Each structure stands twice: as C-alpha cells, then as structure tokens.
Amino acid sequence: MPDLTDERYDKHREAGSILADVRAEAVEMVDVGASHLELVETVEDRIRELGGEPAFPVNISVDEEAAHGTPGIDDAATFGEELINLDVGVHVDGWIADSAITVDLSGNPDHVEAVDDALDRALELVEPGVEAGEIGAAVEETIEGYDLNPVVNLTGHGLGEYEQHTDPTIPNRAVGQSATLEAGDVVAIEPFATDGSGKVSEGSRTEIYALDREQSVRDRRARQALEEITERFRTLPFATRWLESSRPEMSLKRLERQDVIHGYPVLSEDEGYLVSQKEHTVIVTEDGCEVTTRA
C-alpha cells in the first residue's frame, strides 16, 4: 500500500482544506444581483492568500450549463433566480483538490438534493477493489430516484501532479467494464443531474484554455502570451482574464489555430433544462476513503 503520509498526499490534503474554506466563502457570495466576476476574482485571490494556487479558473455554470463557464474580461454578468454550479480547483505545488457545489436560487431544490445524495452514495462505496462502474450505477440509481437523469458524458476522474484529469475515470452511470480503484488513488467524484436528455454538448463561448505543446511562434504578442502560459500555468487550465499580455483574446486565437493550446467551450444541456453538480476529492485508503475537500 502506498505511504499515505507521503508529502504528495499532505499537499493534496492542504489543497483540499483550502478549497473547503473558499468554497464556503463562495457560496455566501451567491445572491441575486451579485457579480460573477467579483465572485471568481475574490475566490481565486483568497486561494492564493491561503497558500495555494487555482488549479483552474473558478467555474460558474448557470441553469442548462454544466461546465467550463467562467467570466471574461470586464464581464458584467450577475446572478438571477437561477440554478448555479460553482466548481473550484486548488493546487499546492501541483497536487490538486477539485470540488463543486450547486446553489439553488431558482426554486428547484430536488436538483440539489439529487446530486448531494448521489455523491454520498458514491463515497460510501469507495474502497480498494471496487469497480468504478459500481459507483456509477449507484449515482445513476440515486439520481433517477428523483425523476432526473445523470449526465452520462461527464465523469469523475483521477488527479495527478499538474494534471487535472487522469485515470481512473469514474462514470455517472452503470457501465460494463471500468477501472478498479486502488489504495493511494486520488479521484474526484462528481455526479451531475438534469431534467434534460443527460448529454451535454459544446457551445460557442470559450474563456478557458490549456497548453498542449510548446513550439516557436512568430507573432510577437502570441509569443509573449505563450511564455506567460508556460511559466505561470504549465499544463493546467487558465482563463483569458488571467493573462497580463496585451490583447490576450487575439493571442489565444492564434495559439489555438497553431494547436499550441486548446479551448474548453462551455458545455450545456438543451436550453430550458437544468443541470446540477456536486463533487468531492478523495484519497482511496486501505479500508475506504478520505475526503480531502469536506469542511
């Protein structure tokens, strides 16, 4: 069995503790009329104050949106009477914690209860030797008990050093073949529930990117942006608004066309349907799991 007192796991735990604190602060900021941009900038700054770094831009997903939404530069969006998902990531020296929570301002508490219960059921099953598909089956059964559908093309995932998504994959439905959890695995388990079809698709809006590869770039501004990306973010996702280089939108488009970076378009259900999410990061222990992101 891996040594769970190793420095790597301590950094996962430290990241999780920071995340639990800032997640609670973020929830308190969600109110009708409050600014999206103010919330994410406050939370990201708070992560740094507490000794971590954002593992990815704070995500705000509203109503049918499921993932990859974050404010742009000078974004004026505010919260309305909506279903709001907050997804927050923290890393300490590259070791990551990932957690999400749904706040209901829309009058749909069943969506929140469904993912809360599904995640609780999933966590009860986590131990060495359990099949990830068994966890997915429990998530699916719980969400369907609320007359909702799991989002089947979004999954939980492993967390590596400066790697936000690694093996093993943790499905949100029953599957025939899946990974077997092992002691020492660090995984994010994240049920999504919807009253829609259960499949999300990419939209046209992109504010989050990540580095694919380094290469020579002729355009001066794009080259400066690439230098900043490799120095500050490595391979972790970053937001357009994080870049200090001038005209970052144009530079990112050039880098994307050259396959130097890739974007994360906002993922959404069909308009008119709602998506909720709940997520915790766990370390698989010899006899169960340790939830690093629980307050």
Catalytic annotation, pick one of 12, 91, 157, 280 = 157
Q: Is 98 a catalytic residue?
A: yes
Catalytic annotation, pick one of 190, 195, 207, 269 = 190
Task: Please tell me the distance from the alpha carbon of residue 222 to that of residue 249, in angstroms, as a whole number.
Answer: 10
Catalytic annotation, pick one of 165, 212, 219, 262 = 165
111 annotated ligand-binding residue: no
What DSSP string runs through 98-149? EEEEEEE-SS-HHHHHHHHHHHHHHHHH-STT-BHHHHHHHHHHHHHTTT-E
Catalytic annotation, pick one of 65, 185, 279, 280 = 279
167 annotated ligand-binding residue: no
Q: Is 231 a catalytic residue?
A: no
Query: What count of other Cβ atoms lies within 10 Å of the Cβ of residue 2?
Result: 15
SS3 category, 66: strand
Q: Is 111 a catalytic residue?
A: no
Q: Is 271 a catalytic residue?
A: no
87 annotated ligand-binding residue: yes
91 annotated ligand-binding residue: no
The pair of three-digit structure tokens given for residue 32, joined into one six-digit string? 């009708």
165 annotated ligand-binding residue: yes
Q: Is 280 a catalytic residue?
A: no
279 annotated ligand-binding residue: yes
Q: Is 157 a catalytic residue?
A: yes
Catalytic annotation, pick one of 82, 98, 134, 207 = 98
Binding residues for substrate: 68, 165
Report, as residue numbers or ranges, the catalytic residues: 87, 98, 157, 165, 190, 279
Binding residues for a divalent metal cation: 87, 98, 157, 190, 279
